[in-house]
Every structure is written in C-alpha cells, then in structure tokens.
Amino acid sequence: MTSWLMQAIRKIEADFNRSSDTHLIPLVLPAAPGIQLYFKDESTHPTGSLKHRLARSLFLYALSNGWIKQGTPVIEASSGSTAVSEAYFARLLGLPFIAVMPASTSCEKIRAIEFYGGRCHLVDDPATIYDESQRLARELNGHYMDQFTYAERATDWRGNNNIADTIFRQMALEPQPEPSWIVCGAGTGGTSATFGRYVRYQQKQTQVCVVDPENSAFYASYVSGDAHCSCEGGSGVEGIGRPRVEPSFIPTVIDHMIRVPNVASYAAIHFLEEVLGRKCGGSTGTNFYGVCLLMADMLQRGEQGSIVTMICDDGSRYLNSYYSADWLAAGGHDIQPWLLSYRRFFHDGVWQPPQ
C-alpha cells in the first residue's frame, strides 16, 4: 500500500468524521393525524445532495480496488449532482476530474463542478454520456468511475451508517418507528437498492416504493420485467429517470413503483415550499407525489403508519427551471390545478388529481 493511498483513504474518512448526520424532518398533514411523514434532508451535505454519500463510497471503492492512484484523472458520466460531489472529493485528493454531462444540465450544477476545480464536458444526446466517458478515460489513461454500474455495490447495504441505517436509527423514538413505506426515485438506482436490501436484511416490514418520472426506462422495465427497455432523450426531472435501465437498478428489492407526471413533480415542490418554508429540487417533488398516492390509499383503508422520503437536493439549483414561471410556461406546464390538488389533500385528505 502506497503512502499516497493511505493518505487518500484517511482524507475521505476524516471528511466523514467532520460531517454530522442529515436531519429527519417531520411534516404534519392536518388531514392524516394517524400517518406520520418524514423527509430525510440530504440537501445539507457539504456538496448539497444525497450524491455526497455516493461519491464518498465510489471513491473509497475505487481506491480500495486499486483503480485510482496518485494523479489518476477521474471521469464520470452524470446528470450533474454526482459530478458535483465527485469534483469535491477529487479536489480533496488532488486528482483531475472531468464530468461528462448532457448539455441540458443546469448552469448552477456546472458552476458548482467548476468551483471544485472539475471540468465539464457537455454532450447533446444524454444517451452518449457513457461511451464518451469511456473514450475520455481511455485517452487520458484515467478511471471512468461509472456510478450507474457501481452505485449498488459501492454502498455498504448491510449498515455502516448508510442512508437506510441512519433513517431507522433516527426513527427510533417516533410513534411508529418502522415506516410502512420508504419512497425514493431512481437515478443510478443505488438508493433504492440500499433501502430494499437493508429492510430485508434487517427483517423490517417496511416496503420500498420507487417513483419514476416521464421519459424513463425504469418503470416500463419494472412492470414488464424487460431489462432492455430504453427511451429517447433525458427525463424532465434532474437526478432521476434514465434513458436505459441502469445496472445499479435492482427491481427485485422494490415493492412498488409509481409513474409520476412531470408537472405533478414541479407543482409538488411549489406546494412543499408553502408547507416546509423552503425550496427543494424536482426529484423531491416526484417523491412527494408518490407519498400522496400511498397516503391516500392508507387513509382509504383506515391504516395508520409512517412514511419516510427524502429531500434529495436543494431548490436553489433550479431557480431558472422548476421555480421559473417563464420556464414552466415555455414547457407548457400548468402547475396551478396540481397545486390545488395538493392543498386539498393536505387539508381534507381528499386526493383528486386534475382531470
């Protein structure tokens, strides 16, 4: 083991040691006193999203495998958030970093990557980020991190303070500490794989529900069992929904999937701003739509229980998209009727999506 490698692993562990856990924020729905809802706030990591955990795990995995050495350029295919977090860790280790991303990635994320000293390599077709990353890695004699393949195995799914482990520990003193549902989206699929494996391994009754936006291959693949589903272009919700079924997406540990209209995700974050007093990223809105559907079902059956979902990243990254009236209008997204549906559900427990 070289001293550089020892130092590198120690730097990442020390970064972890300096960090505190993220909050689990309750949201009381007046219409559902028997159901508790919690948001695991992953926006408070140093690099602003749940991808901070993934980037840490991917670097430790690659270092421990001997794939990254002193001076190795690190290349990643990303829709943005992972690249921001990886740029942070690459800088920590003094490694060059290149993010290969769709040209549609928000300027805020591009700025964040460059802030951490990373370089952005933009491509027009989101489906080409994988090949382009591989090509760059070959040319530069670098390492293609490949989050979409390694997310599910780089994370220690049995525990070791992974996201599932921390949620269950934070739930310990709640009225219903074992959630009926955990709701999350899938980008790599790594988070849902960690949740699904963890609840099985720990013998919890908790079910895992994955929400998927329009224009993503995951939902169709889950329903049909066909792992080769694909679609054109990118999803309308940054961070989740993929044009192909990623290798880290593990359908066998997912109990239920819900397809979410983009406009419902956008409206949800505007509604959440009213009740949480803060802006969240689009995928948090997708999560909340799934929560509403599951909660409406529970209410109808007279069930009590708790539901946990995530604030995946902060809304400040999307002021020029989901939070811009012009952007919404240009895309033909009328969030007003959806806002009314969310408000009504929140106060009266009646879930009625717009016609």
Ligand X SMILES: *Cc1c(COP(=O)(O)O)cnc(C)c1O
- Footprint on this chain of ligand X (rule: CB under 6 A): 49, 51, 81, 151, 185-191, 239-240, 281, 283, 312-313
Q: Is 32 or 312 the residue whose CB approaches ligand X more closely? A: 312
Ranked by CB distance to ligand X, the top (closest) residue is 239
The least distance separating ligand X from the CB of residue 43, rounded to whole angstroms, comes to 9
Q: Is 299 or 313 the residue whose CB approaches ligand X more closely? A: 313
120: left (phi over 0), alpha (psi -120 to 50) or beta: beta
Q: Is 72 or 192 the residue whose CB approaches ligand X more closely? A: 192
Contact 85, 51 (CB under 8 A): yes
Q: Is 179 or 239 the residue whose CB approaches ligand X more closely? A: 239
Q: Is 109 or 333 the residue whose CB approaches ligand X more closely? A: 109
The least distance separating ligand X from the CB of residue 196, rounded to whole angstroms, comes to 11
User: What is the SS3 assignment for 17?
Assistant: helix
The least distance separating ligand X from the CB of residue 119, rounded to whole angstroms, comes to 20
Return d(Cα 346, Cα 161) in angstroms, integer. Answer: 33
The least distance separating ligand X from the CB of residue 283, rounded to whole angstroms, comes to 3
Return d(Cα 10, Cα 186) in angstroms, integer. Answer: 30
Contact 306, 38 (CB under 8 A): yes
Q: Is 185 or 251 the residue whose CB approaches ligand X more closely? A: 185
The least distance separating ligand X from the CB of residue 317, rounded to whole angstroms, comes to 8
Residue 280 CA: distances (Å) to CA of 150, 267, 272, 291:
27, 11, 8, 15
The least distance separating ligand X from the CB of residue 185, rounded to whole angstroms, comes to 5
Closest CA to 185 of 246, 123, 237, 115: 237
Under DSSP, the state recorded for 248 is: T
The per-residue DSSP string of 302-345 comes to: T--EEEEEEE-BBGGGGTTTTT-HHHHHHTT---HHHHHHHHHH
The least distance separating ligand X from the CB of residue 42, rounded to whole angstroms, comes to 8
Return d(Cα 116, Cα 113) in angstroms, integer. Answer: 5
User: What is the SS3 assignment for 284?
Assistant: helix
Contact 293, 268 (CB under 8 A): no
The least distance separating ligand X from the CB of residue 105, rounded to whole angstroms, comes to 11
Q: Is 72 or 284 the residue whose CB approaches ligand X more closely? A: 284
Return d(Cα 128, Cα 113) in angstroms, integer. Answer: 20
Contact 234, 321 (CB under 8 A): no
Q: Is 51 or 197 the residue whose CB approaches ligand X more closely? A: 51
